[in-house]
Structure 1
Amino acid sequence: MARRVLVHIGTPKSGTTYLQSLWWHNRTALADRGLLLPGGSADEQFRAAAVVRDNAGVLATMDERQRGAWDRVVDEVRGWDGDALLSQEQLVEASGASASAALDRLRSVAGEVHVVVTARDLVRQVPSAWQQRVKHGSPTTLRRFFARVAKDDPDFNFWHHQDVPRILERWTDGLPPGHVHVVALPRPGADRDLLWRRTCDLLGIDDTGLSLDAPVANETLAPAEIAFHRAVNAHFRNAHLDVALSRRVKGFMEPRLGGAAPQRIALAPDVHAWLVERGDRMVDELAGAPWHVVGDLDDLRPDPEPGLGVDPDAVPTAEVLAVAEEFLAAELLARADPPAAPARAVREEDSGAAESPSRTALGRVVRRLTGGR
């Protein structure tokens, strides 16, 4: 039986990818220090979470063995005598009944059960959550997404994922307050490793000698890239259901991630003000709760002053077209048939040299897109 099992349930977009990348990258070393990541992979923990949530859509894609992921994770925790860590942000979606059943199951295989939530301020969370929706096929503008957020409907997907007090109501059945941990994501400009250090303190990990250079994708797109992505989604209304199209767009976007820091997304003054007020109320509620806070709750209070940035709903057409041109070029080059033989290379300065069909087609499309410029 494990000494402790800690269940990190999210929230999404609160440093989860960063933390999970480092945990799995150091899995063997962490096990040597007494911390088990059961399941053997992040994919297995994702499948286990789908079983906990009883997510019909995901379960339908899993075979019989994969649907046994939760049982295998629990059995592995039972056979461990140190601490165990489950980390899967989709667990925030679990109903109260599903969460209680999962906690009861874990109580049978560990001396203590702990729930961990990482959280970030709402002014940063709303644009990030909206962008994630765009990447998954939504053509919705940021303004329209915010209009749904501002209704403050607890059943709206955003609040189901981001209203930390309500999430903890679902996930703390029978847990002592000291076994419920809220980890605050540091403010922008803080030391890059501060979130990692906060979780190390919570987990009781000495990270001396651990590798902290695991590759972590920067999942943020530039405003023009988001606008282009939305345009694709609007034209192909079911793009997220078309596997081939989704892979094509994703294959174009992913190599662009992790480069130079994109421009900051700007929120309209009324949007910013509403999120500041709502974020402060959430922090006040957490401050009055008995949960254990790791870090500083004030890090979850949005900056009252709007920062500089770009309105992603009003990106100049020329910037969106520049992204579209790159996409078309990559598409046409990928589709072009290779030459039958290594013919003499045509130099650009050769007078009258014929362009390749792909370049000719690209030229026509680009000229049409750009109004002949």
Structure 2
Amino acid sequence: MARELILHIGHFKTGTTALQMYLDYNRDLLAEAGLHYATQTRKHAKHSALAFSLLRRAGVSELMHGYSSPHPPARIWQALFDEVRALPDGQSMLVSSEEFIRLGAHPDAAALLRKQINQASDLRFRVIAYLRPPQAHLQSWYNQLVKMGIPVGSFTTALCSQIEAVHWDYALALKPWVEIFGAEAVILRTYGPALREGDALYADFLGALGFPLPAEAEPMPGDPNRRIDPRRLAYHRGLNRVDLPRHVRELMNAHAQASLDSDDGEGPRRALTTIRDEARQGIEAVAALPGAALDLEAMLAALPALPEGPAQDLDALIALMAGEIGRLRAHVVSLSGRIGVLEEAARRDETPDPPPQDPAA
């Protein structure tokens, strides 16, 4: 049975970082089951050099994250193919990079991929990708761009003029993979909230490829790619436009997050349904009192509610900005006081000493 190369191509913002770290950390256990996580071009638990080599040769310069390797794609891909050919018969090699999905937006890079794959007719290939509903994906990707410091505009501007079409046109994103490898070789999975729980993503990924989840495998603790709190996304984006030392930027973002966290409060929170039920029951109880003359319909039509969406976000942003302005004002007052002390000391230094008096006078 031929040796196999599996390409995990993303999409972005579908748990790829967590999955890559899991695969890298547990690569020995996975190899025992016949699934080998490739060592060629692996950096930070992913294989993005494979995609970047194609994109760079095709003339792509945006979002290359400093990739500057002079090696041609053929050299990099042939090294990978040689690693696959060294496997025992019937076993599989896996590479993973969300950067692969960008080839759909760059046909010249996709043509280069086809050229490389044509040199490996002795290998079997499969492709696996996760997709999430477009709006959720776009919001998460926009958050990531701001987090990386990319100079994007508003969400509207970014969507209409700055984000590659593969982030909403999934047929375009998958076009080169279907054309090169065949539709039967492409595995598609939905990424949703359920896969963020425990080891669900790892089990789903391995199961889709026909491999068991190793009982001894250890997931990586925490979220390896935590997003920016959406309530301070605009604030973070604004800071990206200012030339500030990194430590100052980080301090300002930390202050902003602390402000939002204080809004959230601590301790147990009552459910809105509980609050509304208690309010309704209370109104109905007091309305039944002999001396009550309440407009019961009006009371029940205005039960407690929470601000949602833009109104809630605007309130949080105003509180955040007011806190930052207050800190700056306090700093200015402190500096003004220090300057006043220094100016007073300078005036004293400039006052000439009185002339010495003649003792005989």
The CA RMSD over aligned residues, in Å, is 4.1
Deviation at 1:2, TM superposition (A): 5.8
Q: TM-score, normalised on structure 2?
A: 0.62
Distance 2:209 2:78 in 1: 24
Check whether the contact 1:228–1:323 (CA below 8 A) recurs between aligned residues: no
Q: Which of the numbers 122, 140, 151 marks the counterpart of 1:128? A: 140
Structure-1 separation of matches of 2:217 and 2:147:
30
CA 1:251–1:30: 2 relative to 1, 3 Å: farther
Distance between the aligned counterparts of 2:66 and 2:195, measured in 1?
Answer: 43
Number of aligned positions between the proteins:
276
1:183 partnered with 2:162: no
Query: Partners of 1:66 and 1:324 in 2: how far apart?
Result: 52
Match 1:52 to one of 50, 54, 63: 54
TM-score by length of 1: 0.60
Q: What corresponds to 1:332 in structure 2?
A: none
- For 2:38, give the aligned amino acid: P
Which segment is superposed worse, 216-225 or 199-208?
216-225
Q: Percent identity?
A: 21
Counterpart of 2:92, as a letter, is: D
Aligned residue runs from structure 1 range 43-192, under 5 A: 43=44, 45-54=47-56, 55-56=60-61, 58=64, 61-64=67-70, 69-81=76-88, 82-94=91-103, 95-106=106-117, 108-109=119-120, 110-138=122-150, 140=152, 144-146=154-156, 149=159, 151=160, 157-187=163-193, 191-192=197-198
CA distance in 2, matches of 1:254, 1:206: 41
- Where 1:14 maps in the other structure, the secondary structure is coil
SS of the residue 1:134 aligns to? helix
Q: Counterpart in 2 of 1:30?
A: 30
Cα deviation for residue 185 of structure 1 reads: 0.6
Say if 1:15 and 1:254 are closer, same or farther in 2 by CA, change over 3 A: farther
Larger Rg, first or second structure (1 or 2): 2
Q: Is the 8 A contact 1:8 1:89 kept in 2?
A: yes
Q: Residue by residue, what CA displacement relative to the aligned partner does 1:235-279 show, whole Å, maximum 9, x if unpaired?
A: 33xx7xxxxx4576468869989xx9x98xxxxxxxxxxxxxxxx
Residues 88 and 323 (structure 1), Cα distance of their counterparts in 2 relative to 1, 3 Å cut:
farther
The one-letter code sitting in structure 2 at the alignment partner of 1:12 is F
Candidates 233, 236, 252, aligned match of 1:229: 236
The answer to whether the 8 Å contact 2:195/2:201 transfers is no
- C-alpha displacement of 1:179: 0.3
1:264-283 equivalences in 2 (<5 Å): none
Could you tell me how far 1:188 is from its partner in structure 2?
5.5
Distance 1:211 1:324 in 2: 49
Provide the C-alpha distance between the structure 1 equivalents of 2:51 and 2:325, rounded to a whole number of angstroms: 37
Between the aligned partners of 2:8 and 2:254, the Cα distance in structure 1 is: 27
Q: Which runs of 5+ in 2 are unaligned?
A: 265-306, 336-361
Q: Does the CA contact (< 8 Å) of 1:137 and 1:233 recur in 2?
A: yes
Distance in 1 of aligned mates of 2:192 and 2:164? 21
The aligned amino acid for 1:217 is: P
Residue identity matched to 1:318: A
Q: Which AA in structure 2 matches 1:316?
A: L
1:85 partner SS? strand
Counterpart of 2:85, as a letter, is: R
CA displacement at 1:23 relative to structure 2: 0.8
**Residues 186 and 195 in structure 1, CA contact (< 8 A), matched pair in contact too:** no
Q: Distance in 2 between matches of 1:89 and 1:185?
A: 14
The verdict on how the C-alpha distance between 1:213 and 1:195 changes in structure 2, with shifts beyond 3 A counting, is closer
1:83 CA drift (Å): 0.6
Deviations 1:51-95 (A, max 9, x none): 022245649753557985444323212322311111111111223
1:312 to partner: Cα distance: 5.1
Residue 338 of structure 1 corresponds to none
